[in-house]
Chains A and B, each alone.
Chain A
């Protein structure tokens, strides 16, 4: 019993330490993206746009492939790619795998359940509304 308690407390300590880090180190300034250049904003007859246009076409083809791989219907893929702005298409092409996909609460393993229960009670997470 004592050993179990000891193990459990170590586990909790580790969990709590890990939890505290991201909140404390939350980035202060999220706006570091390069502004959309005025050229790409508008001017249909700008010079030197060819290279950018080629990149954009490649990015969109890439996004199309990825969306198909992610199980999007063939009928919908074109419209979804067309709806993206150049910047968004670029972002999707480069880092779709890493982008967080909002889904909501999903089932958790038992160990994780315990940790999240504690962090919920501490007010750090919001997984189990019944903790309030």
Chain B
């Protein structure tokens, strides 16, 4: 028995050394990050609300929303985002609550480089961490407000600490346990640089679901400006323009969508429908034919309109 433990001790020392060498390695920041970003950034204008009990969700939301000049406070946010039985707040509701205040919540790319990029651009980032170990999780939301590259330190508004500084490596260890989840808040019509096209599409689409396509129009325009060759973006812009009664502009957007992605049946169908409305049956026929030829939900509707077109053209002859 003692013999066993003696071995265990050696093994323990060995593993400890291995781990220490592992821990000492900082999370890899790209060389370009060091070159592109200022060495120090801190968004001091973010207000601070100390969390009470388990309310880091409402507290972080109050900080970033107030930073956006949205009038709200922790007391108002608690019934909107806190789950009493869970003693916490869940991610989908964090994003949804931001939208209730007419702001967009954009999930960021899960890398330290992206996080620092947003901070350098002046956007505070709500990050989710597991402060503890996976076997005994302590989930936590905090607001990243700055960093210092020479000392490899991140600055957070966290819990009861107004200016919590911690090393990149320690932060990244806690952040990695939530798959590096975080988001920035932006007003409609703005798209923070560095957000992936997919995340932006999802965020604007979610905003559109609750606020309607016309409210999302400026955001789609911002998206198309950042990602002019994204077919889904052009398609979405087309629908928002259509809802805003800008029929010609909508048709142009659908045309761009079909040019960018010839396999996008929904865009062909919408283009056909707009052309029908504009009284251009032959062009509409072309577009609907393309939609009907592609596999998908739109096929039935495209075929239906095609046959109607055939009937009406037969009647007029």
User: Residues of A at under 8 Å CB distance from B?
Assistant: 6, 9-10, 12-13, 15-20, 22-24, 26-27, 30-31, 35-36, 38-43, 45-49, 67, 69-73, 76, 79-80, 82-89, 91-92, 96, 99-106, 108, 112, 115-116, 119, 122-127, 129, 132
Other A-B pairs, 18, CB within 8 Å; known A35-B202, A38-B266? A10-B5, A26-B180, A35-B198, A38-B264, A42-B213, A43-B239, A48-B297, A80-B80, A83-B100, A85-B205, A85-B206, A85-B209, A100-B139, A102-B90, A104-B141, A104-B159, A123-B170, A125-B133
B98 (CB) vs chain A CBs: closest residue: A83
Write the B185-221 contact mask toward A (1 if CB under 8 angstroms, else 0). Answer: 0000000000010110110011011100100000000
Q: Does B310 contact A (CB under 8 A)?
A: no
State whether B91 touches A48 (Cβ < 8 A): no
Write the B95-123 contact mask toward A (1 if CB under 8 angstroms, else 0). Answer: 11101100000000010000000000000
Q: List A contacts of B23 (CB < 8 A).
A: 122-124
A104 to chain B, nearest CB (A): 4
Q: A70-B85, A102-B56, A102-B57 are in contact. Are A48 and B206 (CB under 8 A)?
A: no
Instruction: Give the contacting residue for B129; candidates A16, A82, A112, A126; CB below 8 A.
Output: A126
Instruction: Give the contacting residue for B138; candidates A30, A43, A104; CB below 8 A.
Output: A104
A123 to chain B, nearest CB (A): 5
Q: List A contacts of B134 (CB < 8 A).
A: 18, 22
User: Residues of B at under 8 Å CB distance from A?
Assistant: 2, 5, 8-9, 11-12, 15-16, 19-20, 22-23, 51, 54-57, 79-81, 83-97, 99-100, 110, 128-141, 159, 161, 164, 166-167, 169-171, 173-174, 176-181, 196, 198-199, 201-202, 205-206, 208-210, 213, 232, 235-236, 239-240, 264, 266-267, 269-270, 273, 297-301
State whether A12 touches B12 (Cβ < 8 A): yes
State whether B301 touches A102 (Cβ < 8 A): no
State whether B85 touches A127 (Cβ < 8 A): no
Instruction: Give the contacting residue for B239; candidates A24, A42, A69, A102; CB below 8 A.
Output: A42
Q: List B contacts of A72 (CB < 8 A).
A: 79, 83-84
State whether A91 touches B92 (Cβ < 8 A): yes
A32–B176 Cα gap in the complex (Å)? 16
Q: List B contacts of A108 (CB < 8 A).
A: 132, 136
B212 to chain A, nearest CB (A): 10
Instruction: Give the contacting residue for A96; candidates B8, B11, B90, B133; CB below 8 A.
Output: B90
3 closest A-B pairs (Cβ-Cβ)?
Answer: A101-B88, A71-B84, A85-B206
State whether A88 touches B20 (Cβ < 8 A): no
State whether B8 touches A42 (Cβ < 8 A): no
A71–B297 Cα gap in the complex (Å)? 40
B161 to chain A, nearest CB (A): 7
B210 to chain A, nearest CB (A): 6
| Chain B CB within 10 A, most for which of A80, A86, A87 | A80
State whether B5 touches A105 (Cβ < 8 A): no
Q: What's the dominant secondary structure at chain B's contact region?
A: helix
State whether B232 touches A38 (Cβ < 8 A): yes
Q: List B contacts of A79 (CB < 8 A).
A: 80, 100
B182 to chain A, nearest CB (A): 11
A47 (CB) vs chain B CBs: closest residue: B301
State whether B171 touches A18 (Cβ < 8 A): no
Q: A47-B301, A88-B92, A100-B137 are in contact. Are A126 and B174 (CB under 8 A)?
A: yes
State whether A106 touches B133 (Cβ < 8 A): no
A92–B56 Cα gap in the complex (Å)? 20
Q: A70-B85, A129-B164 are in contact. Are A84 and B96 (CB under 8 A)?
A: yes
State whether A88 touches B89 (Cβ < 8 A): no
B94 to chain A, nearest CB (A): 8
Q: A35-B201, A46-B297 are in contact. Are A125 and B137 (CB under 8 A)?
A: no
